[in-house]
Amino acid sequence: MNIHEYQAKELLERFGVDTPRGHMASTAAEAEKNARELGTNSLVVKAQIHAGGRGKGTFTSGFQGGVHLCKTAGQARDFAAKMLGQTLVTHQTGPEGRLVNQVLVAESVEIEKEFYFAVLMDRATGAPVIVASREGGMDIEHVAETSPEKIIREAVDPAFGLQPYQTRKLARELGFAPSQMRAACKLFASLYRCFSALDCSMVEINPLVLTTGGKVLALDAKFSFDDNALFRHPEIVALRDVAEEDPREVAASKHHLSYIGLDGNIGCMVNGAGLAMATMDIIKHHGGSPANFLDVGGGASEEQVTEAFKILLSDPKVKAILVNIFGGIMKCDVIAHGVLNAVKALKLNIPLVVRLEGTNVEEGRKLLADSNLPIASASDLDDAAVQIVALAPKE
Amino acid sequence: MSVLVGKDTRLCVQGITGKSGAFHTRNCMEYGTNVVAGITPARGGEMFDDKVPVFDTVHEAREQTGCNATMIFVPPEFAADAILEAADAGVELIVCITEGIPVMDMMRAKEMLRRSNSRLIGPNCPGIITPGACKIGIMPGYIHKPGHIGVVSRSGTLTYEAVWQLTSRGHGQSTCIGIGGDPIIGTTTLDAVQLFAADPDTHGIILIGEIGGTAEEEAAAWLKENCDKPVAGFIAGATAPPGRRMGHAGAIISGGQGTAGAKKDALRAAGIAVAETPSTIADTLLAVMK
């Protein structure tokens, strides 16, 4: 789950991480009011969408740029009016762009130096780790590739958390002067508290800045939350903006299905994440191209199978469907009923290959065979992949 | 004749009176697993299916029944606490089936487990089975057959796929361990292959991995130096879109490691036979066992 920049800023402030002064506005009048209250002639207006590359983006109205510097509240109002209610296209949004419903009006700070600073869960050690660099504001993956020596790592003890001495060590390694250390250490400690208290899997500050006035501020932040822990953070769930998400992924999550859209034309429905990935792999191995990852879980009902078909068919790229179920707890006859119902209800008119194995497999296969519907049955996983690749149009 | 579980296993079930806890406990008992106790707080004194006494705490169950393994079906918000309770009671083997435990909870639980004598399998896993002797988990029992191949896997249904391939070709399994797909787990791929390497009744090993992390690379490096038994591997996720789970910093942590290609290379470099497709996992092992 992702959140907007202004929401990230509010979360950081709650934990004592300093950010540039500013507030969200959803109307031009509100933007003007916020700008006036800041009492400065150094302002910035930023369109709020989840995708990156806003500064270099273009609105479908023709207006250039989703981030603008200005000096007066009137100018802030004008910029907000040109962004709100408009669609912003950036290199991350795809050609359809994203609708801007809010802008952030903030003080624009003068930057002395930029840094990269992130706290994340390292699965190799099962503990949090700090990743930081003096090369802030840049593509950090590029830095890690070209000059790995510029990446600083500091492991955090899972039982004790980030210790004060570690914040001092990090501040010095990042090159903060002795007079700036107190501010830097406070920010690092506060950021770790935020990471831990909100069950984040990652908080990334890029850039973290030292201002010409000697302040240490988080200029932009990206949060990733642990989905498993959202039950105890209703305040985070409330920040979710479904308008920013793939509607098919939203529909899938509503029915407890796990769906990720891809570029191919063979829709896949599988039980279990590992088998779902392996099914995508074997389709590719035989020269086809999967349209999605879809895991219906360990105990899918007939209704979930129907919903899964609806989600697959809502993707216009899908020209053939492969169902691969290894029924353990799930019974194959139940799955077969679900498939038959879905095929009838949705008047399926593209090729369908079904591979069933496991509990009650004979009953399941018989149901499909006796249905007189155009469903091809596969004897094993390899056969299923060969059949569906032959039936799907070549891309 | 197997690893970790067998005829001597005395199982208790935490969350035995819940819907899936009860369902899978019955399946395990039908398979022949010796279930000696169940735990549901505030339900102590009841009998489960007129056969299994229910206790309020794991400590009481341990004292009164001598249970030496536990299967956890407690809901995710309470599951880490259930793991810690079992460890504190001294239960040697903890199998946590529960899916969806917060990572922070598991991080702290794993740290506590390091200070105990208990071994954790999972969470978010199908469990462990020694065919014909003891099944702890949600895997369908009938696809297994007693034999001499050890199977370790991060994925549930993909394990069934491999096991079924073995069984349909007449080859049984010593023990199958589903270690779970969560970021933080108890028993790792490396731990499992070490157990199989030391077990005289395991003659060959199947290692099923997924993209992400470095567990398969670590297991491969150890096998190369320490194990002469034939091993076959499969890695799922060659076509998965990169970077969907974690942003930039996550990719930095994994570096070049963690992709399906890198993992397959690591397996091959260690002399492990790599199955190119999931439908040839068993055949790949059987070819190198001849």
pLDDT bucket at A334, cuts 50 / 70 / 90 = confident
Nearest chain A residue to B253, by CA: A122
Chain A residues lying within 8 Å of B164, measured CB to CB? 326, 357-358
Say which of B237, B246, B252 has its CB closest to residue A144: B252
CB spacing of B140 vs A359 below 8 angstroms? yes
> Which span out of A144-158, A235-249, B134-148 was modeled with the highest average pLDDT?
B134-148
Taking 60 as the threshold, does the pLDDT of residue A332 lie above it?
yes
CB spacing of B107 vs A121 below 8 angstroms? yes
CB spacing of A358 vs B247 below 8 angstroms? no
What pLDDT was estimated at residue B257?
Answer: 57
Average pLDDT of chain A, as a whole number: 91
CB spacing of A278 vs B278 below 8 angstroms? yes
Whole-angstrom distance, CA of residue A301 vs CA of residue B68 = 35
Catalytic pick from A204, A244, A307, A357? A204
Taking 60 as the threshold, does the pLDDT of residue A22 lie above it?
yes
What pLDDT was estimated at residue B246?
Answer: 37
Give the number of residues written for chain A.
395
Whole-angstrom distance, CA of residue A300 vs CA of residue B147 = 32
Mean pLDDT of A262-266: 91
Nearest chain A residue to B218, by CA: A124
Per-residue pLDDT tens listing for chain B (290 residues): 689 999 999 999 999 999 989 999 999 999 999 999 999 999 999 999 999 999 999 999 999 999 999 999 999 999 999 999 999 999 999 999 999 899 999 999 999 999 999 999 999 999 999 999 999 999 999 999 999 999 999 888 899 999 999 999 999 999 999 999 888 899 999 999 999 999 999 999 999 998 887 889 999 999 999 999 999 999 998 887 665 543 334 444 444 557 888 899 999 999 999 999 999 999 999 999 97
Q: Which residue has the higher pLDDT, B261 or A176?
A: A176
Q: Which two tokens stand for residue B259?
A: 């992709």
Best residue in A275, A285, A301, A335 for a mutation probing chain B (most B CBs within 10 Å): A275
Task: Identify the residue whose tokens are 């179920």.
Answer: A325
- Which amino acid type is present at position A131? V
Say which of A224, A277, A285 has its CB closest to residue B246: A224
Say which of B111, B183, B184 has its CB closest to residue A159: B111
Taking 50 as the threshold, does the pLDDT of residue A146 lie above it?
yes
ipTM of the assembly?
0.88
Q: List residues bridging with A267 in a β-sheet.
A: A321
What pLDDT was estimated at residue B243?
Answer: 53
Nearest chain A residue to B260, by CA: A281
Nearest chain A residue to B103, by CA: A226
Q: How many CA atoms lie within 13 A of A165 on its CB side?
A: 3
Distance from CA of A199 to the nearest CA of B (A): 6
Distance from CA of A80 to the nearest CA of B (A): 29
